[in-house]
Amino acid sequence: MLRSALAAASLALILGSGSARADPFVIDDLLKLEQFGQASLSPQGSSLAFERIGSALETGPYEYDALDLVLRTQVLVAATDGSAPPIGLTRHPDGGGQVIGAWSPDGRRLLVYRLGDRTFQAGIANPATGDVRWLQGTPESAMWGRAAQWRDGEQLVLIQRAAGDLPAMMRLSYDAGTRMQHLWGLTREGREPGRTVIGAGAFRDATPRPRSSSLVLVTTTSGEQRTLATGRFHDLEVSPGGRFVAAARFTDDRPFDPSVPFLQGDFSTRRELTLVDLDTGAVWEPLPGLDLSPNLMTWSPSGRRLLVWVRQDGQSWSEGRLVEIDPQRKTVAWTSLHGRRPALVQTGLRTEVICADWLGDRPMLYVQGEARRDWVRLGPFDARVLTRDLASPSSSLLAVSRSHIAVQSGGEVWSVDQVGHALRLSQGRRVASGVTTALFSQGQRFQFNSPTRQDWVLVGEGNGIQRRRLIDGAPLGEPLAGERIVAIDESQAAVVQTDGVREILSRADGARLARINDHLSGVVFASPEAVGHTAKDGSPLVSWLFRPAASGLQRPPLIIIPYPGGPARAPSPTEADIATNVQLMVAAGYAVLIPSLPRVEHRGEPAEDMAADILRAVDAAALTGAFDPDRLVLWGHSFGAYSAVAAATQSSRFSAVIAANGPYDLLSVWGQFALPQSLAPEDGLPVRSRAGWVETGQGGLGAPPWTDPARYIRNSPVLSANRITVPVLLITADRDYVPPAQAQELFSALYRQQKDVVLVTYRGEGHVLSSPANIRDMYDTVWRWLDEVLARASPAAGVGPEPAQAPAR
């Protein structure tokens, strides 16, 4: 009904405006969305490589979950002087998509990767011609830092996996079906057992181990690959000058204290260090048996010393040591902290990270004081506080030169020299990373350590974006115009600007290189309206309201999209949000509210007061008169689904609940295995990540179930399902890492009470749907279900015959 009314309103607008188009945003618009991925300038600034990611309708198969987008990605190279239009790299004969790896130091070659046909390859592209020479073997992903790095203009150090053994993130989805069919086949034939075995404690060796990988030196002119070392390598860093490579490898299971809560992203295995002399091939393991801190592996500017942080088994990271290693002299020096202690920085998955680097020839460390954190430079006799004049120095450095660091404090960027003299530059601006960056070029380590080594930093306020020198704050070059800076060096830049809803990739001088999303030129999008309100403690919050086009009927229902953990963010119109797309909801005739739910005070009690916090935002938004406050729909995905169901157990003000891919029973999800992980135990048991999510992640209960069962019970919405009084639509997928058993439990609880519930399970899908047919079906299912459910709650007044449908686009 709502969709029909809105379609008629849109039709009237179209017919009454001459030739002007005013189309609603429809599901095909979402599926046709294009993106720009990574962009990278060659070291000399003469060429720009960039990724153009096509629409979800362009190619299949849809079996890589979030990485399906790689199959429709093409790498193009443009001359920055405008002498030639961008050229696309040559496609592999077997198809597949391409993504950017890294430029060679001389800019003559570009490392790229190809994913397709269940194959992952590295290749060397000639940017002048677009030709690609594909290398033998299966490379590692850059998830943890780097998996490949140029030594010089011709040689490349690369982590190679066993032949055909794709990184787990790339194969888990399709591999689940393949393995299950294989095991079922063994059982059916009756000659071999069809089983999976895992073990722990004295039986930990029963768990299969992953295959080893190799650290190889590739000569790109010939394709020759020389094996340097073998092991379970996953991160590397080549020294300045190219003499040595440091590589992190997984070794043995790491013992742990059962009384300490699990961290969701912590490694269950020890990480150890390997150093290789690339001139001689000599391999050295300088710290045997010591656990290497994740996300820290940085060479001194001279390339002579490596800085890492290590701990012994049984120690916490704060009890570890900072180490300087000289691979040429084969020396290991324990760096004195002069009574300081490291600050433990948490990742989004609650992994603890040590942040350190070099300033000149001395190490720097991010330390924890009594009331604040600071960067200190560690000398032979003392530790000099560098950031004493900054209010709240950040853990991540924006740039490091031989004599200065660029560090953010609040929203401001400061340049600080070796003795702590600080110069305020301006508001901070960062180069926007592409959606493929973290997996193929610079992974998690670069979010916390390994900042860019340069003597300038990007700053700006509003549209006044500028490079500034660290030494004196002087500007470099002309100011830059653009909404997003995607690649930059001292003289060149690439920016993305929005022309209505189309995105344009341009050079800094405004010359266009590529444009995407032309199909949206006639689409009308809803704009966000800020809704101010307060939290329970009186602190100010801002939520975001979107209104549908006026239909002339009764006020529309409101869809609320909860997701606790921070301030609300208004998505851009062209954001490819599959799970809860605001523009599709508005086009279907609903008002939409994204409530701000920081909920810091509820750490450890994630369900507590959920409905009250959501309804504070709803009541503030209701003052606008934009929606019917008696028809409220909760629609959450993942942790948002948990929040939606929790709220429905606490208030009768909601009319319906849509919960997709969420956990609802924290007792059971604490230990449940998802299907893909259960079939591939050699990739690592999911116990730590699953239990860690509940204990210290978003769940945050702080302990395993047997130590505080009451806390688990009161924060598990399924155990309060008797208080749910409205219809519920549950959506799940059989390859989701949030086990579908969670939705099945909640369905069973509601079924047992003869309550209104529908469970939709998508087969062959993960945490977010990727098949266009399934995406279409999900939204069609939701709209039809809401039409039926809300019709029961709709007042009769103002509802007449359904208007005619607008023409389909």
Q: How far is CA 263 from the centre of its chain?
A: 18
**Contact present, 694 and 707 (Cβ < 8 Å):** no
Give the pLDDT band of residue 10 (cuts 50, 70, 90). very low
Long-range (24+ apart) CB contacts under 8 A made by 332-339 are 332/286, 332/287, 335/307, 335/363, 335/378, 336/378, 336/380, 337/365, 337/367, 337/378, 337/383, 338/378, 338/381, 338/382, 338/383, 339/383
> Across the strands, what pairs with 509?
none
For residue 808, the model assigns a pLDDT of 44
Measured CA to CA, the distance from residue 792 to residue 786 in angstroms comes to 10
Classify residue 19: in a domain, yes or no.
Answer: no
pLDDT digit string, tens, across residues 619-649: 999 999 999 999 999 999 999 999 999 999 9
Does residue 508 lie in a domain region? Answer: no
Task: Give the helix/strand (H/E) hosting 366.
Answer: strand 362-368
Q: Up-side HSE of residue 186: CA atoms within 13 Å toward CB?
A: 10
* Residue 376, C-beta contacts closer than 8 angstroms, at least 6 positions apart: 340, 364, 365, 367, 383, 384, 385, 386
Strands 456-461 and 452-453 come out as: unpaired
Residue 135 has phi, psi (to 5 degrees) of -90, 155
CA–CA distance, 433 with 484 (Å, rounded to integer): 10
The CATH code of the domain that includes 332 is 2.140.10
- For residue 499, pLDDT over 90 is answered with no
Torsion sign (Cα): 590, 596, 601, 602: positive
The H or E element that residue 103 is part of is: strand 97-103
- Which CATH number belongs to the domain containing residue 731 in this structure? 3.40.50.1820
Rounded CA-CA distance 214/254 in Å is 22
What is the rounded CA–CA span in Å between residue 686 and residue 340?
35
pLDDT in tens, 174-223: 999 999 999 999 999 999 999 999 999 999 999 999 999 999 999 999 99
Per DSSP bridges, beta strands 119-125 and 132-134 are: antiparallel
Q: What are phi and psi of 121, to 5 degrees?
A: -135, 155
Q: Over pLDDT 70: what percentage of the chain?
A: 94
- Residue 625: how many CB atoms within 10 A of its CB? 9
- Tell whether 16 is covered by a domain: no
Interval 226-236: pLDDT, tens:
999 999 999 99
Confidence of residue 84 (pLDDT cuts 50, 70, 90): confident
Q: Which residues 6+ apart lie within 8 Å of 446 measured at CB?
A: 145
pLDDT at 481 over 70: yes
Residue 332 has pLDDT above 50, yes or no: yes
pLDDT for residue 462? 63
Give the pLDDT confidence score for residue 633 in this predicted structure: 99
Q: How confident is the model at residue 510 (pLDDT cuts 50, 70, 90)?
A: confident
Single out the residue of 399, 298, 368, 381 nearest to residue 336, CA to CA.
381
Which structure tokens are listed for 237? 């860093």
Q: Tell me whether residue 799 is in a domain.
A: no
Q: Is 527 helix (H, G, I), strand (E, B) or coil?
A: coil
Peptide bond into 61 cis (omega under 30): yes
pLDDT of 433 higher than 50: yes
Q: Given a cut of 80, is residue 797 above it in pLDDT?
A: no
CA distance 348 to 350: 5
The amino acid that residue 777 corresponds to is: D
- Predicted confidence at residue 18, as pLDDT, reads 37
**679 and 555 in one domain?**
yes
User: Is pLDDT of 9 > 80?
Assistant: no
Confidence bin at 551 (pLDDT 50/70/90): low
Element (H, E) at 124: strand 119-125
Q: In sequence order, what are the residues at sequence separation of 6 or more whose Cβ sits closer than 8 angstroms to the Cβ of residue 800?
A: 553
Is residue 106 included in any domain, yes or no? yes
Structure tokens at 777: 């079906």
Round to whole Å and give the CA distance between 155 and 149: 9
Mean pLDDT of the chain: 93
Residue 316 lies in a domain: yes
Phi and psi at residue 613, in whole multiples of 5°? -65, -40
Q: Quick one: 443 and 582 in the same domain?
A: no
Provide the pLDDT for residue 544: 98
CA distance 395 to 181: 48
Residue 807 has pLDDT above 50, yes or no: no
Domain span at residue 276 reads: 30-169+208-417+430-452
Are 297 and 388 part of one and the same domain?
yes
* 533 and 447 co-located in one domain: no
Q: Are residues 545 and 413 in the same domain?
A: no
646 and 750 together in one domain: yes
User: Are both 121 and 248 inside the same structural domain?
Assistant: yes
Q: What digits encode the pLDDT tens for the residues 47-62?
A: 999 999 999 998 889 9
Report if residue 183 sits inside a domain: no
Same domain, 447 and 533: no
- Between 89-93, 249-253, 803-807, the lowest mean confidence (pLDDT) is in 803-807
pLDDT band at residue 552 under the 50/70/90 scheme: low
pLDDT band at 345 (very low <50, low <70, confident <90, very high): very high
Q: Same structural domain for residues 233 and 138?
A: yes
Neighbours of 55 (CB within 10 A): 21
**Residue 782 clears pLDDT 50, i.e. is over it:** yes
DSSP-assigned states of every residue in 184-253: HHHHHH-SS--------GGGGGGSPPPPPEEEEEEETTTTEEEEEEEEEEEEEEEPTTSSEEEEEEEEEE
pLDDT tens for 700-738 read 999 999 999 999 999 999 999 999 999 999 999 999 999
Confidence tier at 696 by pLDDT (50, 70, 90): very high
Q: How confident is the model at residue 801 (pLDDT cuts 50, 70, 90)?
A: very low
Residues written for the chain: 809
Domains of the chain: total: 2
Task: Decide: 701 and 709 in contact? Cβ < 8 Å.
Answer: no
Rounded Cα distance, 43 and 47, in Å? 9
The amino acid at residue 25 is F
666 neighbors 699 (Cβ within 8 angstroms): yes
Are 288 and 379 in a shared domain? yes
Q: What is the pLDDT of residues 373-413, one digit of tens each?
A: 999 999 999 999 999 999 999 999 999 999 999 999 998 99
Co-location of 446 and 571 in the same domain: no
Question: Is 541 among the domain residues?
Answer: yes
Q: Is the pLDDT of residue 464 over 90?
A: no
> Do 446 and 551 reside in the same domain of the chain?
no
